[in-house]
C-alpha cells in the first residue's frame, strides 16, 4: 500500500475527516473543576471507526508487519504489544502477519490502562517479557504520552522496547528516543475554543456547518445553541 492508499483506507472507514467543521470531545479545564469547555476543529480523527472494518484493519496490520520487516531486515521482535482497547486487535493482526511471514515465535500481548494513568502488562503475560524485544502498536499517536507510558510498563517487566508502529500520527509526538513509525500523518489540524471558532464566525461556514454525522458532539452543539439539527 502507498501512503495515499493508507489514507484513503482510513477515509473509507470514516476515520479521518479533514477540511470540515467539527465539535470535539469537551475537556474539563482545569482538570477536576467540573467546568467543561467546548472546542471546534477543522479535523476529526474517529479512530474507533477503523476497528469496525476488519478487512481494512487486516490490510493495515499487514502493511505495518511488511514495513517493519523491511526496516529491521527481517528481525521482527518477540512480542507485539497493543495498547487497550482498539490496538489489541491491531497487535493480534500484526502478530499474525509476522508469524505467517516465517516468524512463528512472535507473540501478541496487550497493555492495560491503569486507573490513575499509565499502563500495566498483567494477566499472566508479564513474566514472558524478560529480555525480550517488544514492538508497540497503536492506532493513533498524538502527543506520545500513551506509548511512553507503555514503554515504561515494558521496561518494568524487564522487556526491551524495540520500536513503535502507529496507523496514524497526528501532531509531533515525543516517544523518548524510541523510533516512531507510522503509516500516515495528519498535518496542520486546527483547534479553537468554541466561542472563538473562526468557522462559526465565517458567514460562508457559520455554526450550522458543524458536522452532525461524524460524532455525538455535533448534535449536542446544535442542542446547546438551540439550532434545529439539519436533516
Chain positions contacting Zn ion, by CB under 5 A: 40, 197, 199-200
Minimum CB separation of residue 28 from Zn ion in Å reads: 20
Q: What is the DSSP string of 48-100?
A: GGGGG-HHHHHHHHHHHHHHHHHHTTS---SEEEEETTHHHHHHHHHHHHHHH
Residues 6+ apart with CB under 8 A from 223: 229
What phi-psi label fits residue 206: left (phi over 0), alpha (psi between -120 and 50 degrees) or beta? left
The residue number whose beta carbon is nearest to Zn ion equals 197
Rounded to a whole number of angstroms, the minimum distance from the CB of residue 230 to Zn ion is: 15
Measured from the CB atom, the residue of 174 and 202 that comes closer to Zn ion is: 202
In degrees rounded to 5, what are phi and psi of residue 213?
Answer: -105, 0
Residue 150 Cα distances to 83, 137, 160, angstroms: 7, 10, 11
Strands 180-186 and 160-170, bridge-based pairing: parallel
Closest CB to Zn ion among residues 13, 24? 24
Contact between residue 40 and residue 23 where contact means Cβ atoms under 8 Å apart = yes
**Antiparallel, parallel or unpaired: β 27-28 and 160-170:** unpaired
Closest contact distance (angstroms) between CB of 105 and Zn ion is 51
Min separation Cβ 188 and Zn ion, Å: 17
Q: How far is the CB of 38 from Zn ion (least distance, A)?
A: 9
Between 87 and 197, whose beta carbon lies closer to Zn ion? 197
Tell me the closest approach of the beta carbon of residue 218 to Zn ion, in angstroms.
10
97 C-beta neighbours (distance < 10 Å), count: 22
Task: Choose between 135 and 199: whose C-beta lies nearer to Zn ion.
Answer: 199
User: At its nearest, how many Å lie between Zn ion and the CB of residue 56?
Assistant: 30
Count of CB atoms situated within 10 Å of the CB of 206: 13
Report the Cα 9 to chain-centroid distance in Å.
15
* 22 vs 182, beta carbon nearer Zn ion: 22
Compare residues 18 and 69 and give the one whose CB is closer to Zn ion.
18
CB nearer Zn ion, residue 122 or residue 206:
206
Amino acid at each position: 500500500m502507498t501512503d495515499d492508499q493508507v489514507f484513503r483506507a482510513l477515509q473509507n472507514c470514516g476515520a479521518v475527516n479533514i477540511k470540515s467543521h467539527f465539535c470535539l470531545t469537551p475537556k474539563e479545564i482545569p482538570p477536576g473543576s467540573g467546568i467543561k469547555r467546548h472546542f471546534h476543529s477543522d479535523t476529526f480523527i474517529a479512530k474507533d471507526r477503523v476497528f469496525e472494518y476488519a478487512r481494512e484493519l487486516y490490510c493495515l496490520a499487514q502493511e505495518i508487519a511488511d514495513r517493519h520487516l523491511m526496516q529491521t531486515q527481517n528481525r521482527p521482535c518477540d512480542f507485539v504489544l497493543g495498547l487497550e482497547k482498539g490496538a489489541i486487535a491491531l497487535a493480534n493482526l500484526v502478530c499474525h502477519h509476522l508469524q505467517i511471514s516465517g516468524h512463528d515465535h512472535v507473540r501478541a500481548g496487550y497493555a492495560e490502562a491503569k486507573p490513575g494513568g499509565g499502563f500495566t502488562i498483567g494477566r499472566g503475560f508479564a513474566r514472558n517479557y524478560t529480555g525480550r524485544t517488544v514492538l508497540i502498536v497503536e492506532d493513533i499517536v498524538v502527543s506520545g504520552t500513551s506509548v511512553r507510558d507503555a514503554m515504561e510498563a515494558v521496561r518494568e517487566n524487564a522487556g526491551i522496547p524495540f520500536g513503535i508502529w502507529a496507523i496514524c500520527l497526528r501532531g509531533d509526538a515525543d516517544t523518548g528516543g524510541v523510533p516512531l513509525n507510522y503509516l500516515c500523518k495528519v498535518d496542520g489540524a486546527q483547534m479553537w475554543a468554541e466561542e472563538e471558532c473562526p468557522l462559526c464566525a465565517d458567514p460562508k461556514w457559520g455554526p450550522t456547518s458543524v458536522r452532525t454525522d461524524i460524532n455525538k458532539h455535533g448534535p449536542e452543539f446544535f442542542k446547546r445553541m438551540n439550532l434545529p439539527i439539519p436533516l
